[in-house]
């Protein structure tokens, strides 16, 4: 289902929400999109998390410049650029806060067990979210531009799981090193995973760079990471 959230100093923001079956308190996970919108892949991933027992919410972070429901094909990056270039750290923090605040109002959300995950652009947002609101776990897949947020490493509230593709030509090794060095310097808990045989966007089965084995291996680690950090085992 799609809901609408009020965001500080901005237009209303749509978000896709997926619920698990059954009643009772559940952990929740915020999902942050790739540059191509809250599309079938992101919505499908939210549904997958719901099947694992999580309440999942994916906000449309281009809401300031793009219409509700905005999404484009994976080969149409030129149509994304104006929206991608318009986002700001302050605006993203407001989006994160609005999404997090909505979860806090939900009676079936276990408030101490909220986490996040993001892909590509969303990987950077997941790192930012970990520094902006109190989380129990954060996962970032190939988060381009994350190195520009290293000054926020000391603000991270939760352990951070990082995934990178060893064949990724979009993200420089020195940028990855800048992130891990900042986390070490800040004394923050993190797991850094480079899958040497995977490329950028290896987790997305709708893209040419999808790598089935790497995606399955990463998914297994993501599931256990959440179970550990949420105290579900």
Q: Of the residues 63, 83, 147, 200, which is catalytic?
A: 200
Query: Which of 83, 120, 147, 199 is an active site residue?
Result: 120
Does 83 participate in catalysis according to the annotation? no
Three-state DSSP class for 216? helix
Bridge partners (DSSP) listed for residue 59: 15
Is 59:153 a contact under the CB 8 Å cutoff? no
Active site residue 200: yes
Alpha-carbon torsion (89, 128, 15, 77), positive or negative: positive
Q: Give SS3 for 6.
A: coil
Question: What are the residue ranges of helices labelled H in 87-162?
Answer: 89-104, 121-132
Q: Which candidate in 147, 168, 199, 211 is catalytic?
A: 168
- State the burial class of residue 9 (Cβ atoms within 10 Å of its Cβ: 0-12, 13-18, 19+): exposed
**DSSP E strand boundaries for the chain:** 2-5, 13-18, 26-32, 55-59, 109-119, 137-141, 160-165, 190-195
Tokens 């797991």 map to which residue?
191
User: Please, what's the b/e burial string for 146-162 (b: 16 or more CB within 10 A of its CB; e: otherwise)?
Assistant: bbebbebbeebbbbbbb
55-59 and 13-18: which strand pairing? antiparallel
- Give CA angle at 201 (41, 181), nearest 5°: 125
Residues labelled catalytic: 120, 168, 200
């Amino acid at each position: 289902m799609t809901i609408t959230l009020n965001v500080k100093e901005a237009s209303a923001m749509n978000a896709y929400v997926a619920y698990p079956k059954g009643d009772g308190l559940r952990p929740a996970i915020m999902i942050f999109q790739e540059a191509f919108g809250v599309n079938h892949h992101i919505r499908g991933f939210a549904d997958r998390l719901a099947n694992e027992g999580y309440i999942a919410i994916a906000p449309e972070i281009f809401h300031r410049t793009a219409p509700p429901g905005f999404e484009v094909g994976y080969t149409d990056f030129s149509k994304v650029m104006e929206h991608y270039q318009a986002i700001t750290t302050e605006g993203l923090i407001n989006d994160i806060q609005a999404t997090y605040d909505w979860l806090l109002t939900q009676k079936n959300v276990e408030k101490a067990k909220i986490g996040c995950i993001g892909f590509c652009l969303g990987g950077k947002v997941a790192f930012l979210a970990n520094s902006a609101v109190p989380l129990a776990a954060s996962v970032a897949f190939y988060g381009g531009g994350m190195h520009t947020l290293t000054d926020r490493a000391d603000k991270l509230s939760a352990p951070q799981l990082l995934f990178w593709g060893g064949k990724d030509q979009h993200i420089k090794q020195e940028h990855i090193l800048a992130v891990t060095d900042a986390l070490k310097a800040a004394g923050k808990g993190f797991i850094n995973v480079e899958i040497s045989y995977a490329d950028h966007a290896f987790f997305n089965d709708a893209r040419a760079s999808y790598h089935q084995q790497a995606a399955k291996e990463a998914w297994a680690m993501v599931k256990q990471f959440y179970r550990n950090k949420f105290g579900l085992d």
